Amino acid sequence: MFFEHAEEMKLTFYRGRFAPSPTGPLHFGSLVAALASCLDARAHGGEWLVRMEDVDTSRNVPGAADDILRTLEAFGFAWDGPVLYQSARLAAYAEVLEKLKSLGLAYACACSRKEIAELARRQAVDGGLVYPGRCRAGLAAGQQPRAWRLLVDDREMAFDDRVQGRIAQHLESDVGDFVLRRADGLFAYQLAVAVDDHFQGISDVVRGADLLASTPRQIWLQTCLGYAVPRYAHLPVATNPAGEKWSKQTLAPAIVATQAAGELVRALNFLGQRTPAGLAGAAVGEVWQWALAHWSFAAIPRQLAISVAANLSRSAD
């Protein structure tokens, strides 16, 4: 049994969000996502929220959440309402998982990573392995559940991304039944983000293209639960000269408050906004005034990735 009416539900008021994980300080790629999501919300007369995606406690760095919020404030960001912490939402995720179980859409899985690697025949769209469906029919005698998965089928899941165009996947063949609760007991990102976007009434998700492959899974969850489906916009990610996404894992340098105006201008140029000469030397407030007055979503490059080094060599006319 699946809910078929979710696509008909519409969110009319613009509410966006920035949702960093507290695994370290903010870097340039994070700034790009924060700036684009905030400016797009303000351009639509909407709200912009901040959510701390700290549900994966194994990756959290002590003090990182507070550092991220201080950095955002130093860069001139102002968000609406209190910050939502996923670590305070575990009961909500558990309730939704129980609902999916009761609908016959979630099932226990006893497979280890080694067993999946031995059984899988295809690579998934996100670089992992397509789950082969071993536990779909139930666990064998003596097996103990390790994780909980969401049942998918092979219908096409498609959406029109505001930056990347039409995106389509067949979840059964491209991903397989995906994890909702992990073997370590932690709730999976896909479940937490879908539940929280619904809880916060998010109408528009503006984030990096590194999450593009995850979106059909989130739409499938939203559909199963009868949630409204937000509009999505996946920005080009910033890469280093080696072609790797700037991230904490690739040692992206942290952005610092003393260089806030210049970093904001760098991010605006990365997003295709043609900033005037000298803006990087202005006060942070002046940069925001210019950005709010001149924000052009249409100018965002329709690319999956852009080299930061190449971007920095560009100059505005």
User: If DSSP states are collapsed to H, E and C, what string results for the chain?
Assistant: CCCCCHHHCCCCCCEEEECCCCCCCCEHHHHHHHHHHHHHHHHCCCEEEEEECCCCCCCCCCCHHHHHHHHHHHCCCCCCCCCEEHHHCHHHHHHHHHHHHHCCCEEEECCCHHHHHHHCCCECCCCCECCCCCCCCCCCCCCCCCEEEECCCCCEEEEEECCCEEEEEEHHHHCCCEEEECCCCCECHHHHHHHHHHHCCCCEEEEEHHHHHHHHHHHHHHHHHCCCCCEEEEECEEECCCCCECCCCCCCCECCHHHHHHHHHHHHHHCCCCCCCCHHHCCHHHHHHHHHHHCCHHHCCCCCEEEHHHHHCCCCC
Q: What is the per-residue pLDDT for 127?
A: 81
Closest CA to 43 of 277, 204, 234, 199: 204
Residue 163 near residue 272, CB atoms below 8 Å:
no
Q: 150-166 pLDDT, tens per residue?
A: 999 999 999 999 999 99
- Give the pLDDT mean for 292-315: 81
- Give the pLDDT mean for 211-220: 97
| More confident position, 5 or 252 | 252
| More confident position, 10 or 141 | 141
d(CA 118, CA 279): 56
- Give the pLDDT mean for 175-181: 96
- Give the pLDDT mean for 133-162: 92
Four-CA torsion 6, 95, 185, 55, nearest 10 degrees: 70
- Give the pLDDT mean for 76-104: 97
Q: What is the per-residue pLDDT for 10?
A: 56
d(CA 228, CA 251): 37
Q: What is the per-residue pLDDT for 11?
A: 64
Residue 277 near residue 316, CB atoms below 8 Å:
yes
Q: 28-49 pLDDT, tens per residue?
A: 999 999 999 999 999 999 999 9
Q: 283-294 pLDDT, tens per residue?
A: 999 999 999 999
Round the average pLDDT of the chain to a whole number and report it: 91
66: which residues sit within 8 A by CB, 6+ positions away?
none
Express as a percent the part of the chain with pLDDT over 70: 92
Residue 120 banded pLDDT, cuts 50, 70, 90: confident
Entry pTM:
0.91
Residue 169 near residue 182, CB atoms below 8 Å:
no
Structural domains of the chain in order of their starting residue, each with its CATH number: 6-89+200-213+223-312 (3.40.50.620), 91-189 (3.90.800.10)
